[in-house]
Amino acid sequence: MSGALSLREVSKTYDRVRAVDRISLDVVAGEFVTLLGPSGSGKTTTLQMITGFVDPDEGQIILDGRELTALASHRRNIGMVFQNYALFPHMNVEQNIAFPLEARGIDRAERRRRIGRALDLVGLGGFERRLPRQLSGGQQQRVALARAIVFQPPLLLMDEPLGALDKKLRDRLQLEIMELSRTLGVTVIYVTHDQEEALAMSNRIAVFHRGRIEQVGPPAELYERPASVFVAGFVGDSNMFTGTLDAEVLRSGPWQLRVDRAKTACLGHATAATIVVRPERLRVEPASVGDEAGLAGIVRQAIYLGATMKYVIELSDGRRVNARMHAGSQSSSIGVGDAVGVSWDIADGIVLPGEPEQTSLAGEPDGSP
Amino acid sequence: MSPARLHPLLLGYAIFLAFVLVAPTLIVALMSFSAGVLLRFPPQGFSWRWYGYFLGADTWTRSIETSAEVGAATAAISAVVGTLMALGLVRGRYRWPQLLNGLVVGPMLVPPVVIAIGLYFMFVRLHLVGTYSGMIAAHTALALPYVVVVVSSSLRNFDRTLERAANSLGAGPVRTFFKVTLPLILPSVGAGALFAFITSWDELIVAYFLSTPAVRTLPVVMWGAAQDTTDPTLAAVATFLSVITVAFLLIARLLGYRTRAA
């Protein structure tokens, strides 16, 4: 199987700003890898260097043992799906999909066969004669997908392909794209800033931050064992307690929070550190249980989400944390305005060096993975 | 958006202005259908005789042919060269884009007489006075800016992601240009070509300097006729000229709308 991609120490500088800073990434053939990061983190520039729209200043990009950087983009044989679909408005669906086949000099009969197959794969059989403007956004993106796979490229790149679609359609197309990529066995590099999408679709996720890859790993690993405060804040919801590490506790505001010293051995004394706790790992108990209940707080919001309840709790020092529990458990006894104690198992408190940046999404009480 | 209601005064002013602009043409058109032998207003009676006369006269028909040929060649050359210039202006990377832009649209700003005199002295040396090629070259110089302006604006609005898409699908620069870029800017190129034709079609001053009895465009012959004839033939020719110009302008406008809609 082909489609193995390797980025080695790839860099790109724009006007003295390192848009991409010595990135290395190995993608196995057939793998679905998402480049996740906020805008300006370098993920799109990385994608454009793979397609050949942008030349790297340094480094190598290797696809199936072949160095790509010297190849013009039209010789790279890589499929690409754009956020705004980029369908040719003067061509109908069939002509759009025929375009890459014509460029490769494939004869009429074979073109016909392949176009039919590609349209069936994306569920748009019978739309051959429509013009792009006669199609809905979702249909246009399906045509773009068909056009990008019809010439059987070993590698398929997708640049926020679902960004312009509404939530429901996005969810459906996510599943379709995953199935399609598995059916075809094509390697997919998928760019998004939507962490839910990344978690849902990928074999592995590469989290981009300021032109570097902060962490690469399967979705569960990023969620359970984030390597940095940035990753913890960007992937999934989290509560963060920032302070100074001291022996077995983290001094954070009025509290001394116990930490698992075995896991923080590499962190020195008196260094700035952050404890990250996922909302579903927080225990919320009525304050009457006693002093052992943990950090004191007052429930400010209780939101019913069907399977789960979400609580926003204001701690005694004024900061807010999110907690999530199965609806119908003991939580039902907790309501807005109640005094509660918030705690967690030491093992669920992820200790990371450094502090969250103001710009990250850390602690934002919205979004639900 | 609902059309705003015009103040009666403004409406009156608009009608007055339209009348002032259109009236001379209308008066000439009316005079061309006169049955009398003198160019005068109001016309006496109605007849097509002056149209018959001018279409039957060798001098007129020959000059119409000359004008059409020069205009068509000007339009074709301007369309190709102007599109290439627009591509260079919009896509190229060079130091002083304003300067280059100024040079390209310069002929629109220089008084035609100045251009005519300059071209005349240059063309005398090159033996281009009184030739088709000379006339076409001069009119192309005058018409190019229109093509460049129209095509540049459509290139500036062009979504270059489409070209990247074509590249990613395996099309090289040439295929991308002819299959994607050109078809999408073609309405603008067409509009530019029509403007170029009109520029040449009703241009008098430069043509007057460069013409000889053998090669004379319609406006030059009309100028001559206006000096020494008094019958309504001239009005008929003028009406013919205007109808063609207006028709081409309308088509150019329609093409302009199509480009924007695409």
β-bridge mates for residue A314, sequence order: A298, A320
B183 with A90: Cβ contact below 8 A: yes
Residue A143's pLDDT is: 96
Residue A1's pLDDT is: 59
pTM attached to this predicted model: 0.81
Beta strands, E only, chain A: 5-14, 17-27, 32-36, 58-63, 66-67, 78-81, 155-159, 187-192, 204-209, 212-217, 239-246, 249-252, 255-258, 272-277, 283-286, 295-304, 308-315, 320-326, 339-343, 350-353
DSSP H/E element including B190: helix B182-201
Tokens encoding B82: 């102007």
Residue B5's pLDDT is: 73
Contacts of B161 in chain A (CB under 8 A): 82, 84, 86
Residue B258's pLDDT is: 64
Contacts of A155 in chain B (CB under 8 A): none
Q: Nearest 5°: phi and psi at A147?
A: -65, -35
A51 with B169: Cβ contact below 8 A: no
Residue B132's pLDDT is: 92
B160 touches chain A (CB under 8 A): no
Q: Is the complex ipTM more than 0.85?
A: no
A73 with B167: Cβ contact below 8 A: yes
β-bridge mates for residue A243, sequence order: A273
Residue A361's pLDDT is: 44
Residue B77's pLDDT is: 97
Arithmetic mean of pLDDT over chain B: 88
B88 to chain A, minimum CA–CA distance in Å? 20
B164 with A82: Cβ contact below 8 A: yes
Tokens encoding A31: 């793998």
A148 with B161: Cβ contact below 8 A: no
Residue A358's pLDDT is: 56
Give chain A's contact residues with B (Cβ, < 8 Å). 51-53, 72-80, 82, 84, 86-90, 99-100, 103-104, 147-148, 151
Residue A365's pLDDT is: 39
B168 with A80: Cβ contact below 8 A: yes
A203 to chain B, minimum CA–CA distance in Å? 25
Distance CA A159, CA A53 (A): 13
Facing residue for A86 by CB, picked from B162, B173, B175: B162
Confidence grade of residue B3 (pLDDT, cut at 50, 70, 90): low
Contacts of B167 in chain A (CB under 8 A): 51-53, 72-74
A116 to chain B, minimum CA–CA distance in Å? 18
Distance CA A174, CA A198 (A): 10
Residue B121's pLDDT is: 94
Residue A245's pLDDT is: 82
B168 with A151: Cβ contact below 8 A: no
B185 touches chain A (CB under 8 A): no
Residue B225's pLDDT is: 85
A172 to chain B, minimum CA–CA distance in Å? 24
What parts of chain A have a pLDDT lower than 50? 359-369
Determine how β-strand A239-246 pairs with β-strand A78-81: unpaired
At B231-249, the pLDDT tens digits run 888 888 888 888 988 998 8
A86 with B171: Cβ contact below 8 A: no
Tokens encoding A12: 């790109």
Contacts of A80 in chain B (CB under 8 A): 164-165, 168-169
B258 touches chain A (CB under 8 A): no
β-bridge mates for residue B106, sequence order: none
A88 with B159: Cβ contact below 8 A: no
A144 → chain B, closest CA residue: B165
Count CB pairs under 8 A between chains A and B: 67
Confidence grade of residue B4 (pLDDT, cut at 50, 70, 90): low
Determine how β-strand A32-36 pairs with β-strand A283-286: unpaired
- Listed in sequence order, the residues at least 6 apart from A342 whose beta carbon sits closer than 8 Å to its beta carbon are A282, A283, A284, A293, A294, A295, A296, A297, A313, A315, A321, A323
A88 with B168: Cβ contact below 8 A: no
Residue A190's pLDDT is: 96
At B41-90, the pLDDT tens digits run 787 888 888 888 888 888 888 999 999 999 999 999 999 999 999 999 89
List the single best residue of B169, B186, B259, B260 to mutate versus A (max A Cβ within 10 A). B169
Contacts of A100 in chain B (CB under 8 A): 169-171
The proportion of chain B whose per-residue pLDDT surpasses 70, expressed as a percent, equals 96
Residue A110's pLDDT is: 95
B262 with A151: Cβ contact below 8 A: no
Cβ atoms of residues A9 and A22 within 8 Å: yes
Distance CA A20, CA A54 (A): 11
